[in-house]
Amino acid sequence: MELTWHGHSTWAVTVGETNLLIDPFFDNPHTELGPASIGEPDFVLLTHGHADHIAHVPEFPDSTVVATPELAAYVGDEYGVNDTIGMNLGGTVECGDAFVTMHRADHTNGIETDYANSAGMPAGFLISDGDPAEDASEATTFYHAGDTALMTEMRDVIGSHLDPDAVAVPIGDHFTMGPQQAAIAVEWLGVDRAFPMHYDTFPPIEQDPTDFQAAVEASDSDASVEILDGDQTVIR
């Protein structure tokens, strides 16, 4: 499994021969790439409908978009996406060589930050190279937490039963949890590796990621915090 952070909440994930892109938004200071630079992924996964998570969906019209039914219908109608998979919280779908499980995130979900339009519950995704219904502990799983507050489901459901190996957590504060709560999330999840995301894009979410790293190191977690440069790839 290859993971590439393109800044903000935008991640490219490769599982076997399958390429997935999460929350395409390349207008952020941590990437030097544009949508055309990365090629057409097989699947585009959307955690929720805010503009800084769906802005560049129209650049990938031939990718299959995976999102809540409401958001999938919206991008199909408004963005010219040809193929969508509408799924919902708790569900798992096969996306090529990957198994994608959707879980809740504690956030809001107006489409393009417009309160007049709802896109269903915001979400996070667990991407695995094996079927989590068979034995989650045998699969390699990357958890993209989405835009979220700290929530006990990370401890009681995701960490305990879905067994992620690595997590990307928002640390920007203001719109999501900040470094201290994100460190608690990492401890609850029991992951080996943790990556900060959703910071420094806008003034309200400016953060020093080493504060998050220090908070994890001060906790009871054994996770290694990896602060990635934009467009950096790591292998899980």
pLDDT at 111: 78
Pairwise CA distance, residues 67 & 197, whole Å? 20
DSSP states of 48-83 as a string? ---HHHHTTGGG-TTSEEEE-HHHHHHHHHHS--SE
pLDDT in tens for each of the 236 residues of the chain?
A: 999 999 999 999 999 999 999 999 999 999 999 999 999 999 999 999 999 999 999 999 999 999 999 999 999 989 989 899 999 999 999 999 999 999 999 998 887 655 557 777 899 999 999 999 888 888 999 999 999 999 999 999 999 999 999 999 999 999 999 999 999 999 999 999 999 999 999 999 999 999 999 999 999 999 999 999 999 999 98
Q: Determine contact, residues 99/39, Cβ cutoff 8 Å.
A: no
Beta bridge partners of 225: 194
Pairwise CA distance, residues 154 & 123, whole Å? 13
Torsion of CA 58, 232, 153, 74, to 10 degrees: 0
pLDDT at 93: 98
pLDDT at 116: 59
pLDDT at 118: 75
Close Cβ partners of 18 (under 8 Å, ≥ 6 residues apart): 42, 43, 95, 96, 97, 98
Torsion of CA 230, 96, 1, 121, to 10 degrees: 60
Instruction: Count how many Cα atoms sit within 13 Å of the Cα of residue 34 in the half-sphere of its side chain.
Output: 3
Q: What are phi and psi of 102, to 5 degrees?
A: -100, 135
The pTM score is: 0.96
pLDDT at 112: 63
pLDDT at 236: 81
Token pair 């006990």: residue: 152
The pLDDT tens digits of the residues spanning 90-135 come to 999 999 999 999 999 999 888 765 555 777 789 999 999 999 988 8
